[in-house]
Amino acid sequence: MIMADIAATRISPVPAFRIDRGPVTTVLLALLAATVAIGTLVDARHAALFLIGSLLGVSLYHGSFGFTGGWRRFVIERRGRAIRTQMLMIAVAAIAFIPLIAAGSAFGRPLVGAVAPVGVSVIVGAAMFGLGMQLGGGCGSGTLFTVGGGSSRMLVTLLFFIVGAVLGTAHLPWWLEQPSLPSISLGTELGVPLALIVTLAGLGLVAAVSALVERRAHGSLETVKAPSTAGWQRLLHGPWPLVGAGLALAALNIATLLTAGHPWSITYGFGLWGAKAAAAVGVPVATWEFWTWPAQAKALQASVLEDVTSVMDFGIILGAALAAGLAGKFAPKAALPFASLLAAAIGGILMGYGARLSFGCNIGALFSGIASGSVHGWLWFASAFIGSFAGVWARPLFGLDGFRKP
Amino acid sequence: MSLRNTLLFGAALLAATAAVAADHVASTGRAAPPAQAAAPAAEEANPCAAGNPCAAGNPCAASSPCAAASVDASPCAAGNPCAAANPCAAGGQ
Task: Read off the pTM.
Answer: 0.86
pLDDT digits 0-9 by tens, A295-304: 899 999 999 9
pLDDT band at B78 (very low <50, low <70, confident <90, very high): very low
pLDDT of amino acid A229: 77
What would the mean pLDDT of B72-79 be, rounded to a whole number?
31
| Each residue's pLDDT tens digit, B36-66 | 433 443 333 333 322 333 433 445 555 454 4
Q: Residue A112: which of B20, B58, B65 has the nearest Cβ?
A: B58
* Residue B73 pLDDT exceeds 80: no
Q: Identify the H or E element spanning A111.
A: none
How much is the pLDDT for A63? 95
What pLDDT is stored for residue A64 in this prediction? 93
Closest-CA distance, B34 to chain A, in angstroms, reads 15
CB A80 within 8 A of CB A237: no
Q: What is the pLDDT of residues A303-339, one digit of tens each?
A: 999 999 999 999 999 999 999 999 999 988 888 899 9
Question: What was the pLDDT predicted at B30?
Answer: 74
pLDDT over threshold 50, residue A374: yes
CB contact under 8 A, B1 and A176: no
Pairing of strands A117-119, A180-183: antiparallel
What letter represents residue A386's amino acid? Answer: I
CA–CA separation, A16 and A5 (whole Å):
13
Query: Which of B8, B23, B93 shows the shortest C-beta gap to A304?
Result: B23
Q: Is residue A143 within 8 Å of A349, Cβ to Cβ?
A: no
The CA R_g of chain B, rounded to the nearest whole Å, is: 20
DSSP state, A241? P
**Contact across the interface for B59 and A268, Cβ inside 8 Å:** yes
CB contacts < 8 A (A, B) = 172
The alpha carbon of residue A348 is apart from the nearest alpha carbon of chain B, in Å, by: 17
The pLDDT value given to residue A403? 73
Q: Do A307 and B57 touch (CB under 8 A)?
A: yes
* % of chain B exceeding 70 in pLDDT: 32
Task: Compute the distance between CA of residue A63 and CA of residue A364 in angstroms, rounded to an integer.
Answer: 19
CA distance B68 to A297: 10
List helix spans (H) across A281-307.
294-301
Question: Which chain A residues in 39-58 lie under 8 Å from chain B, judged by CB atoms?
Answer: 41
CA-to-CA separations, B57 to A113, A170, A192, A318, in angstroms, rounded: 13, 18, 26, 24
Per the CB < 8 A criterion, the answer to whether A288 and A169 are in contact is yes
Instruction: Sort out which chain B residues have CB atoms less than 8 A from A268's CB and list them.
Output: 59, 62-63
pLDDT > 70: percent of chain A: 95
Q: What is the dihedral of CA B4, B5, B7, B9, to 10 degrees?
A: 170
Among B53, B25, B6, B30, smallest CA distance to A308 is for B53
For residue A230, the model assigns a pLDDT of 80
Can you give the C-alpha Rg of chain A in angstroms? 21
A contacts of B75 (beta carbons < 8 Å):
none
The residue of A115, A155, A264, A306 whose CB has the most chain B CBs within 10 angstroms, and thus the best one to mutate to test that interface, is: A115
CA–CA separation, A71 and A124 (whole Å): 19
Inter-residue contact A202 to A378 (CB < 8 Å): yes
Residues on chain A touching B13 (C-beta within 8 angstroms): 30
pLDDT value at position B71?
Answer: 35
State the average pLDDT over residues A215-222: 95
Which tops the pLDDT comparison, A11 or B8? B8
User: What percent of chain A shows pLDDT beyond 90?
Assistant: 88
A173 touches chain B (CB under 8 A): yes
Render A206-267 in DSSP notation, one character per residue.
Answer: HHHHHHHHHHHHHSSPPPPPPPS--HHHHHHH-PPPHHHHHHHHHHHHHHHHHHHSS----H
- Identify the H or E element spanning A273: helix A267-280
Q: What is the pLDDT of residue B90?
A: 33
Question: What is the Cα–Cα distance from A277 to B16, expressed in whole angstroms?
Answer: 11
CB contact under 8 A, A172 and B63: yes
Contact criterion met (CB below 8 Å) for B82 and B61:
yes
Lowest mean pLDDT among A9-13, A74-78, A104-108, A135-139: A9-13
Cβ A110–B71 below 8 Å, yes or no?
no
Cis peptide, bond prior to residue A239, ω within 30 of zero: yes
Query: Are residues A296 and B82, on separate chains, in Cβ contact within 8 Å?
Result: no
Alpha-carbon distance A126 to A233, whole Å? 39
Q: Is A23 an 8 Å CB contact of chain B?
A: yes
Direct distance between the N- and C-terminal alpha carbons of chain A, in angstroms, rounded to an integer: 48
Instruction: Using the predicted structure, report yes or no on whether residue B92 has a pLDDT greater than 70.
Output: no
Q: State whether residue A291 is helix, strand or coil.
A: helix
pLDDT at A319: 98
pLDDT one-digit tens code per residue, A47-57: 999 999 999 99
What is the rounded distance in angstroms from the CA atom of residue B19 to the CA atom of residue A276?
Answer: 10
User: Contact B24/A41, CB-based, under 8 Å?
Assistant: yes
Which residue type occupies B69?
Answer: A
Question: Which residues 248-267 of chain A have a CB within 8 Å of chain B?
Answer: 261-263, 265
Instruction: Report chain B residues whose CB lies below 8 A from the CB of A305.
Output: 20, 24
Q: What are phi and psi of A105, to 5 degrees?
A: -160, 160
**C-beta of residue B70 within 8 angstroms of C-beta of residue B87:** no
Q: What is the largest CA-CA distance in chain B?
A: 59
Give the integer Cα–Cα distance in Å for A280 and A284.
9
In chain A, residues with a C-beta closer than 8 Å to the C-beta of B58 are: 112, 261-262, 295
Structure confidence at residue A405 (pLDDT): 57
CA–CA separation, B36 and B63 (whole Å): 24
Q: By the 8 A CB rule, do A117 and A181 touch? A: yes
| Cβ–Cβ below 8 Å for B62 and A296 | yes
| Closest chain A residue by Cα to residue B71 | A294
Backbone angles phi, psi at B33, to 5 degrees: -55, 135
User: Which of A23, A116, A265 is nearest residue B6 as measured by Cβ atoms?
Assistant: A23
* Residue A21: pLDDT over 60: yes
What value does the mean pLDDT take over residues B4-13? 90
Mean predicted lDDT score pLDDT of chain A: 93
Residue ranges per structural domain of chain A? 20-220+236-398
Q: Nearest CA of chain B to the CA of A298: how many Å?
A: 8
Reply yes or no on whether the pLDDT at A4 is more than 60.
no
Residues in CB range of A133: below 8 A, 6 or more apart? A67, A68, A139, A142, A347, A351, A362, A384, A388, A391
Which sign, positive or negative, has the C-alpha torsion A369, A373, A376, A382?
positive
Which residues of A are less than 8 Å from B20 in CB distance? 304-305, 314
Report whether pLDDT(A227) > 80: no
A134-183 pLDDT tens trace: 999 999 999 999 999 999 999 999 999 999 999 999 999 999 999 999 99
